[in-house]
């Protein structure tokens, strides 16, 4: 059975409610847009892309009518070129660095051009990528987690001919691309097309929870190197009374559930807690799913909000209402169901060493807010604790510490990348991490093979 047929993703109703933010380019507009590109030398857009896609090269291939070559140029640098073309914050990456800005011209629409090339590629099944010449099958690598970092690491290792297995505890691989990105940006089917391509390269997928279903010790015996693409796991809890009430759903669970459960009901008056991009995604989604009002509460102000400003602007247009300087202290419930939140007003203190101003509660400033659904989106905790304690993998503020150019952790058998390393950035950052780690792992596997030869000789 193809992943596309999976009944767990009933997207039909969501497609109507989540029309695309940026529709596809038709081939003539793509040609016109591609021809605007100056073809800069050592292009800034390429440098601004964490995966260093050769942007002018793929754009000129669109202009020349070589769409297959264009797509392969993208995939060569970024195996998840399709999802990145849809979810990348291009304003702060490639398009943000476009030289067109510097003489008052509209930057090249790199994201939409990339999507144009990738959709051409995926519309032709004969376009499958080929794995590299097979290497010693006893020298194998494992990737833990099925998200962008692991998929990339696995695909790159296959392109170099190594045997690799991806362990994921969810029924469908793809990680946040499949379960956690808002529909108006990326559809799960697109994520699954990419998973299929990685599978077609010869990557083995196993659904199993590492550490429980599969003990670490077994894994370490079976695989020479292990890549950790664990992601962030579930959201941090609010840590206030009443948060177990029905109607409290953390943001990632919320996004996952409306995608997978056809009967999922959104509240009428929804409160989202937090100021990051995920909070914004959840707030927008709640509105589109039919909530009458969506209110977002953040304990600092608009200035300190970690969400991208274009995400914030978009969500104001959607109709989300914002409340600053308010921190929840209790979820109010009746018969076990949410009926509201008790907040305390905050004020900002002086900036700390990192330049960030902390929110401090103001005495006797409590107020109640009535609502029937609460979506906390409060930053995210990690599942790396066990690895830290039993495998001496160094963590810092909950993130795995790696050597950035290679992704190697403090334990030489382990490499890591993506959200579990960077604390939660973009898909493209996870792809870049996965690729760098794969190159380092491939080099390490080759040196193991060379040692083996020496040993026998």
Partner 1 sequence: MADLTTNFAGIRSPNPFWLASGPPTNCGEQIMRAFDAGWGGAVWKTIGEPIVNVSSRYSSVDWNGQRMMGLNNIELITDRPIEVNLREIAEVKKRYPKHAVIASLMVDSKRETWHDIVKRSEDAGADGLELNFGCPHGMSERGMGSAVGQVPEYCTMITGWVKEVARTPVMVKLTPNITDIRVAARAARKGRADALSAINTINSITGIDLDTLTPRPYVGGQSAHGGYCGPAVKPIALHLVQQIATDPEVGLPISGIGGVAGWREAAEFILLGCGTVQACTAAMHYGYRIVEDMIDGLSNWMDEKGFRTLDDFRGLSLPKVTEWKHLDLNYKIVARIHEDKCIGCDLCYIACWDGAHQCIHRAGYAKPPGAEAASRERLTVTPIAKLDAQARTNGRTPPERIPHVDEAECVGCNLCWLVCPVENCITMEKTETGRPAESWDQRTAKASGV
Residues found near partner 1 in the complex (CB under 8 A)? 31-32, 35, 38-42, 44, 46-50, 52, 63, 89, 92-93, 96-97, 99-103, 303-306, 308-309, 355, 404-405, 422, 425-426, 428-429, 432
Nearest-10 Cα torsion for 40, 43, 49, 55: 40
CB-wise, 178 or 422, nearer to partner 1?
422
Calculate the CA 52 to chain-centre distance. Answer: 18
CB-wise, 66 or 135, nearer to partner 1?
66
User: What element of type H or E holds 13?
Assistant: helix 12-17
Q: Do residues 329 and 366 make contact, with C-beta atoms less than 8 angstroms apart?
A: yes
Beta strand pairing call for 326-334 and 337-351: antiparallel
Give min distance, CB of 221 to partner 1, in A. Answer: 33
For residue 78, give the nearest of 175, 197, 186 by alpha carbon: 197
Give min distance, CB of 80 to partner 1, in A. Answer: 14
Q: Distance (Å, rounded) from C-alpha 441 to C-alpha 403?
A: 13
CB-wise, 168 or 311, nearer to partner 1?
311
Give min distance, CB of 29 to partner 1, in A. Answer: 10
Q: Distance (Å, rounded) from C-alpha 300 to C-alpha 54?
A: 39
CB-wise, 190 or 429, nearer to partner 1?
429
Give min distance, CB of 163 to partner 1, in A. Answer: 28
Tokens of 335: 């018969």
CB-wise, 41 or 454, nearer to partner 1?
41
Give min distance, CB of 147 to partner 1, in A. Answer: 16
Bridge partners (DSSP) of residue 143 are 166, 227
Give min distance, CB of 90 to partner 1, in A. Answer: 10
DSSP one-letter code for 123: T
Give min distance, CB of 290 to partner 1, in A. Answer: 31
CB-wise, 88 or 331, nearer to partner 1?
88
φ/ψ (deg, to 5) at 395: -115, 155
Residue 350 burial (10 A CB sphere; 0-12, 13-18, 19+):
exposed
CB-wise, 79 or 307, nearer to partner 1?
307
Beta strand pairing call for 395-396 and 373-376: unpaired
């Amino acid at each position: 059975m193809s992943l596309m047929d999976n009944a767990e993703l009933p997207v039909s109703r969501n497609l109507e409610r989540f029309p695309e933010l940026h529709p596809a380019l038709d081939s003539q507009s793509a040609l016109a847009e591609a021809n605007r590109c100056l073809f800069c030398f050592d292009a800034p857009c390429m440098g601004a892309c964490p995966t260093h896609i050769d942007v002018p090269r793929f754009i000129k291939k669109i202009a020349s009518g070589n769409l297959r070559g264009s797509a392969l140029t993208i995939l060569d640098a970024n195996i998840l070129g399709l999802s990145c073309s849809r979810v990348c914050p291009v304003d702060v990456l490639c398009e943000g660095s476009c030289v067109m800005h510097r003489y008052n011209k509209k930057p090249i629409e790199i994201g939409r051009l990339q999507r144009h090339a990738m959709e051409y590629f995926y519309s032709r099944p004969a376009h499958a990528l080929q794995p590299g010449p097979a290497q010693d099958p006893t020298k194998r690598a494992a990737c833990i987690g099925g998200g962008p970092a692991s998929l990339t690491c696995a695909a790159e290792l296959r392109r170099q001919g190594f045997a690799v297995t991806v362990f994921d505890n969810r029924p469908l691989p793809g990680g946040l691309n499949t379960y956690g990105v808002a529909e108006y940006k990326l559809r799960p089917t697109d994520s699954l097309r990419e998973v299929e391509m990685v599978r077609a390269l010869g990557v083995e997928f196993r659904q199993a929870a590492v550490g429980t279903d599969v003990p670490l010790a077994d894994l370490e015996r079976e695989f020479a190197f292990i890549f950790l693409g664990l992601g962030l796991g579930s959201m941090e809890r609010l840590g206030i009374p009443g948060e177990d009430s029905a109607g409290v759903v953390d943001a990632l669970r919320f996004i996952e559930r409306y995608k997978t459960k056809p009967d999922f009901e959104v509240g009428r008056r929804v409160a989202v807690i937090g100021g990051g991009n995920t909070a914004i995604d959840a707030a927008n989604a709640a509105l589109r799913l039919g909530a009458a009002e969506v209110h977002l509460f953040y304990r600092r102000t608009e200035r300190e909000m970690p969400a991208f400003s274009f995400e914030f602007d978009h969500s104001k247009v959607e109709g989300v209402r914002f409340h600053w300087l308010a921190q929840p202290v209790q979820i109010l419930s009746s018969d076990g169901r949410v009926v509201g939140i008790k907040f305390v007003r905050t004020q900002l203190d002086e900036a700390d060493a990192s330049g960030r101003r902390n929110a401090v509660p103001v005495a006797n400033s409590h107020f109640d807010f009535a609502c029937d659904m609460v979506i906390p989106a409060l930053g995210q905790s990690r599942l790396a604790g066990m690895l830290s304690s039993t495998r001496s993998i160094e963590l810092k503020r909950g993130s795995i510490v790696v050597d950035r150019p290679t992704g190697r952790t403090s334990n030489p058998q382990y490499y890591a990348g993506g959200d579990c390393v960077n604390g939660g950035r973009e898909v493209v950052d996870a792809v870049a991490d996965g690729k760098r780690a794969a190159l380092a792992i491939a080099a390490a596997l080759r040196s193991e093979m060379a040692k083996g030869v020496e040993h026998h000789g």
